[in-house]
């Protein structure tokens, strides 16, 4: 009995650590982007499903469920999204499914943490592990900045950006910032007196390394987080700092050494000063302005989950400041509130506000000092969601934030009896195992799909079979289709074969109806030109230019089709996937410069 209890004591914190700590060490080549295109997000979700599954079995075994006092208020957001989805309808079914899955999965993970009855020491051990991994990420980022890739396990970046494996520097900064404040929290816990020398040294090293890297990164989001969270934590833990004078002095030394090291290593203060002196007319100003205008058109229920990208790009056509939005298409308004307002309307905002109020009430019911501490811990990631899209770049940040939210609500837990018959217990056990296995299988398949996509993009020879996994994967099917059909188009032009052009045109028109991608617009105009339908090519290029007036490639394509240039005189040289060399299709007499072969379907 004691052995089983001890094993559970180790197992539950361990799998929680795997979700947002150990999973961040996984890396493989990827095309970049967000969501499951970032490899470790798949691993993060696999371990999150394992946590949810383990919590379900805890409920079955104990025949009771533990819930925070304000659990229903926290559930307001996913409930609101489901209601909005049923009323407004589904704009893009696949995106709707993953959006709902992301929120519901997060809520289930949050509720799951309450089932393990974690002790204070177990929570601290989880956070000690976080500090250890944050120190590792700091070291990896330092090697990237130095260009010192002593092992292939360290992801290489073209600009030597200190991203570790997060693929986005501000996401890495938020991870380190939160780890820094958690280290300060751990350093003032009553149990620090009994902790080993190794763990104390780990905290000091974490504080030094994270503050050094944060100054080197120079993230303005981090600057705001430190300005708000650091005073809150110092005020909340002042009596502890005062009671541990010698230890507090060492923490202060580690902080100062980190500040000095970060400034000397990459002129950290000068970097911040330069960023703060930049013009305030940032593209985000216009993104927020246009987002507000879009929201006002349908304020109550929004446009439907998955609709933002299409609705926002269409709104740019009549927006007078469209050029100041830059050249890219936006899948997110760089503000979580605007994102949910546009897709789900005021209903989603009410859900977010209800959850926020419930959390504030929960933390202030403990004590004002503890409330200041918890707000200081959760603020960096929360603020990051209002200027970028950290939860979509990193599932680890999403689950770390949910774990901090659990800390805020874990002081007032209510337990309810769960009475199930033997048949019901078996049914729910079977369902839990089956659904969990299917979801884990999906994420494993996503890793395989991602590997095939990267192989196809990098391979010197056409291997359409590399895309088969992606084309059969619900998440990656769109990008796999883009690569597949774009390759078909370029192949056809390279060899002068118009047999598959209509196939490409039909696919591209359907794809652009939901996803107004710049490259697809350009390629569709190219396809119509190759088909000798110049009138339609001009219409496509004009629509693209109306949406993306600052995009140089689209402007160039519009000029080319307007004067009816032959493809051989286009600025873009048609490149076949097969040889990776430029193969320009010349009008009349084709001179194929690559070793292109006619398209013959999948292998």
Q: How many CA atoms lie within 13 A of 305 on its CB side?
A: 24
Report the share of the chain in percent with pLDDT over 90: 50
Residue 583 has pLDDT above 50, yes or no: no
Residue with the larger pLDDT of the pair 556 and 595: 556
Report the pLDDT averaged over residues 193-197.
Answer: 92
Helix count and strand count (H, E) for the chain:
25, 2
* Residue 589, pLDDT score: 30
User: How many angstroms separate the Cα of 481 from the Cα of each of 378, 392, 468, 478, 507?
Assistant: 40, 22, 10, 5, 9
Report the pLDDT averaged over residues 386-395.
Answer: 87
Task: Tell me phi and psi for residue 228, to 5 degrees.
Answer: -90, -50
Average pLDDT, the chain: 85
Length of the chain: 603
* Residue 188, pLDDT score: 93
Confidence of residue 499 (pLDDT cuts 50, 70, 90): confident
Residue 600 has pLDDT above 80, yes or no: no
Domains of the chain: 2-70+93-278+365-417 (no CATH), 281-364 (no CATH), 475-569 (1.25.40.10)
Q: Evaluate whether 467 touches 483 at the Cβ level (below 8 Å).
A: yes
How many CB atoms lie under 10 A from the CB of residue 299?
Answer: 12
User: How many angstroms separate the Cα of 354 from the Cα of each of 73, 285, 347?
Assistant: 6, 27, 11
Between β-strands 413-417 and 64-68, what pairing exists: parallel, antiparallel or unpaired?
antiparallel
Report the pLDDT averaged over residues 43-60.
Answer: 94
Burial class (CB in 10 A: 0-12, 13-18, 19+), 80: buried
The greatest distance separating any two alpha carbons of the chain, rounded to the nearest whole angstrom, comes to 86
Q: Evaluate whether 582 touches 575 at the Cβ level (below 8 Å).
A: yes
Cβ-based neighbours of 509, under 8 Å, separated by 6 or more: 524
Give tens-digit pLDDT for 275-304: 655 655 567 888 999 999 999 999 988 888
Q: What is the DSSP letter of 156?
A: P
pTM above 0.85, yes or no: yes
Torsion over CA: 340, 226, 129, 36 (sign): positive
Give tens-digit pLDDT for 417-472: 988 888 888 888 899 999 999 999 999 999 999 999 988 888 756 677 888 899 99
Residue 574 has pLDDT above 70, yes or no: no
DSSP labels, 86-106: HHH--SSHHHHHHHHHHHHHH
User: How many angstroms separate the Cα of 466 from the Cα of each of 462, 481, 571, 577, 600?
Assistant: 9, 12, 30, 13, 15
Q: Evaluate whether 81 touches 103 at the Cβ level (below 8 Å).
A: yes
Residue 15 has pLDDT above 60, yes or no: yes
How many CB atoms lie under 10 A from the CB of residue 144?
Answer: 21
């Amino acid at each position: 009995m004691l052995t089983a209890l001890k094993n559970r004591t180790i197992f539950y914190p361990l799998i929680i650590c795997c979700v947002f700590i150990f999973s961040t060490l996984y890396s493989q080549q990827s095309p970049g982007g967000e969501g499951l295109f970032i490899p470790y997000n798949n691993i993060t979700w696999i371990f999150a499903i394992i946590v949810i599954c383990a919590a379900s079995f805890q409920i079955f075994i104990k025949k009771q469920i533990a819930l925070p006092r304000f659990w229903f208020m926290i559930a307001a957001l996913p409930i609101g999204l489901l209601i909005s989805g049923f009323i407004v309808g589904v704009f893009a079914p696949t995106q709707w499914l993953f959006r709902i899955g992301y929120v519901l999965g997060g809520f289930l993970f949050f509720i799951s943490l309450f089932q393990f009855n974690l002790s204070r020491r177990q929570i601290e051990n989880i956070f000690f592990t976080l500090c250890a991994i944050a120190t590792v990420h700091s070291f990896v980022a330092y090697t990237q900045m130095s260009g010192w890739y002593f092992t292939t396990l360290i992801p290489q970046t073209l600009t030597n950006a200190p991203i570790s494996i997060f693929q986005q520097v501000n996401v890495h900064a938020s991870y380190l910032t939160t780890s820094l404040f958690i280290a300060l929290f751990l350093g003032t816990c009553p149990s620090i007196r009994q902790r080993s020398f190794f763990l104390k040294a780990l905290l000091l090293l974490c504080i030094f390394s994270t503050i050094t890297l944060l100054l080197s990164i120079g993230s303005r989001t981090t600057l705001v987080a430190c300005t708000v969270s650091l005073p809150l934590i110092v005020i909340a833990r002042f009596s502890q700092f005062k009671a541990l004078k010698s230890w507090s002095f060492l923490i202060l030394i580690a902080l100062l050494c980190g500040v000095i090291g970060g400034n000397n290593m990459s002129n950290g203060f000068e970097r911040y000063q330069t960023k703060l002196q930049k013009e305030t007319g940032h593209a985000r100003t216009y993104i927020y302005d246009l987002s507000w205008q879009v929201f006002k058109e349908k304020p109550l229920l929004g446009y439907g989950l998955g609709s933002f990208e299409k609705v926002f790009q269409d709104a740019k056509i009549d927006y007078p400041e469209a050029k100041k939005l830059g050249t890219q298409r936006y899948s997110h308004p760089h503000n979580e509130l605007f994102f949910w307002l546009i897709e789900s309307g005021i209903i989603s905002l009410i859900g977010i506000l209800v959850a926020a109020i419930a959390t504030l009430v929960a933390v202030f019911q403990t004590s004002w000092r503890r409330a200041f501490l918890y707000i200081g811990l959760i603020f960096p990631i929360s603020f990051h969601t209002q200027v970028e899209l950290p939860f979509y770049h990193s599932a680890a940040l999403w689950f770390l934030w949910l774990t901090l939210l659990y800390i805020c609500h874990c002081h007032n837990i209510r337990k309810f009896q769960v009475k199930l018959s033997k048949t019901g217990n078996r049914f729910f056990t079977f369902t839990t195992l089956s659904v969990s296995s299917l979801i884990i299988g999906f994420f494993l398949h996503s890793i395989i799909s991602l590997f095939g996509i990267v192989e196809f993009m990098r391979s010197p020879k056409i291997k359409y079979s590399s895309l088969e996994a992606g084309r059969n994967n619900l998440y990656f099917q769109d990008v796999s289709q883009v690569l597949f059909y774009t390759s078909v188009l370029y192949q056809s032009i390279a060899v002068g074969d118009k047999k598959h052009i209509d196939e490409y045109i039909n696919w591209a028109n359907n794809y652009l109806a939901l996803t107004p991608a710049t490259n697809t617009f350009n390629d569709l105009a190219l396809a119509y030109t190759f088909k000798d339908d110049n009138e339609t090519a001009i219409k496509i290029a004009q629509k693209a230019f109306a949406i993306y007036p600052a995009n140089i490639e689209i402007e160039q394509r519009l000029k080319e089709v307007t004067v009816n240039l032959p493809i051989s005189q286009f600025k873009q040289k048609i490149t076949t996937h097969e040889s990776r060399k430029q193969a320009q299709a010349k009008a009349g007499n084709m001179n194929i410069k690559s070793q292109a072969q006619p398209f013959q379907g999948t292998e």
